[in-house]
Amino acid sequence: MMIRAFLLSALFCTGALCAVAQQPTEFLTQGNDAYQKNDYKKAIELYTSAISGSPSLTQAYYNRGLAYMQTKQSANALRDFSKVIELDPTFKDAYLNRSFINIVEHRVKEAIPDLSAYLKIDGLNATAWFNRGQAYQELGKTDSAMADFTKALSIDTTLMSAYLARGVIYAREGKTDLALKDLQKATKLNPEEPLGWLNLGQAYLSSGNGDSAGAAWRRFVTMERGTDRSKQVDTMLIEMCQDSRGMVDKAFQDTSKLVTIKLPQHWFANTQDDGKVFNFFVSKEKIEKPTDMYSSGVAVHMLRDVVKNYNLKDKSAKAIVSFWTAFLDDACKEYDVYTVNKTEPIKVGAWTGSIRDITLRIKKEYYTVHKFEAVVASKDNVLWITAECPAELWPAFRDRYRKAIETMRLP
């Protein structure tokens, strides 16, 4: 949802009425006085009397149109603004207010000609350019919308709503750097506008900066606490472990205290060790048995005596890591998606090997997973660590997972 900063202009000038009969002029002046006192019903009556005495009194039609707008009589207001334009096609504010009514009543397409007519008369009104950009955007004419938002900002560099609207479009087009620049400007100009923080958080997440996304969204939730939108964002923060509890890590240990890893403090730990294979899980969802699943978490597996059990001739850590990595890859051949994005060497204590950034999806109906998979070896043992989460949460967990793996304490 976007902000609209439509201009509702008021014009009560009577100085150019010397050629009009005295009686209609008096009614017009009295109508203006009633309008300024918020007595719109009385103002409408007086403007009508002025029009009865002088049917071509443009200002009376215009001011009565404004009074009709204030009393939510939009059909009458439209008729009056249309009459103003008929009498004086250069009366720019009548175009502007007629466009406003059409946009409010969801006739966006009908508003554009009026905004274009206004801008032909007064091309220096930044808000009018923004209004037309909004109308184009709602019609799906993104290029025209962007041109108008940019024009508005060339006239008024402080128009927060134009930065916000343009930033949202940049974000949707995948132009993350430009989106961040505009949305950061929007929140700086008006830090009290919740939509700025909401969209800035999404742009940060798209850029891979989960911590900054969390900070922006926490600001949004504080400002809109209790609304449906804030509840949705709050849920996302919990998923990202960016809520008040999840931002704090603690050291988790398996039952034998072989492994220590720091992860969100409210996660759950479970150890399974049959003497041959050691498994240690720290996850958002509780793991109680080997068949249990989790969406976000870290699993540490250690296979003892791997050289002996698999009759490996080369006992070096490098050979063991290569053997086990190939074994894992072979086990993933049935995956619908399995992409190794990057491979790097890694050393964790006395264990050496490699860490891979992997995207996978088991079947088409499953969500996509992003994970780090580290395979390291020491002596005759191989240990592999998987730190994973749904792909859309990867920006929030990537750096946290990497740090957790690199600072683990291993046997």
What is d(CA 45, CA 28) in angstroms, rounded to the nearest whole number?
Answer: 10
Give the pLDDT confidence of 332-389 residue by residue, as tens digits: 988 999 999 999 999 999 999 999 999 999 888 889 999 999 999 998 899 999 999 9
Q: Which residues pair with 297 in a beta bridge?
A: 283, 388
Quote the distance between the C-alpha of residue 388 and its chain's center: 23
What is residue 245's predicted lDDT score, i.e. its pLDDT?
83
Of the listed ranges 103-107, 141-145, 168-172, the one predicted with least confidence: 103-107
What is d(CA 198, CA 45) in angstroms, rounded to the nearest whole number?
Answer: 46
Quickly name the fold that domain 22-239 has.
1.25.40
What pLDDT band is residue 307 in, cutting at 50, 70 and 90? confident
Answer yes or no: is pLDDT of 328 > 60: yes
Answer yes or no: is pLDDT of 13 > 50: no
Query: How much of the chain exceeds pLDDT 70, in percent?
Result: 95
Give the pLDDT confidence of 159-175 residue by residue, as tens digits: 999 999 999 999 999 99
Instruction: Taking residues 217-221, report their average pLDDT.
Output: 96
Helix axis angle for 142-155 and 160-172, nearest 10°, is 150
In 362-403, beta strands by DSSP E: 369-378, 381-390
Instruction: Taking residues 305-325, report their average pLDDT.
Output: 91
What is residue 275's predicted lDDT score, i.e. its pLDDT?
84
- Radius of gyration, CA atoms only, the chain: 33
What is residue 402's predicted lDDT score, i.e. its pLDDT?
97
Kindly report the CATH number that applies to the domain delimited by 249-406.
3.40.1000.10
What is d(CA 331, CA 326) in angstroms, rounded to the nearest whole number?
Answer: 9
Q: Do the beta carbons of residue 57 and residue 28 sit within 8 Å?
A: yes
Query: How much of the chain exceeds pLDDT 90, in percent?
Result: 84
Domain regions of the chain by residue span: 22-239, 249-406
What is residue 20's predicted lDDT score, i.e. its pLDDT?
37
Answer yes or no: is pLDDT of 6 > 70: no
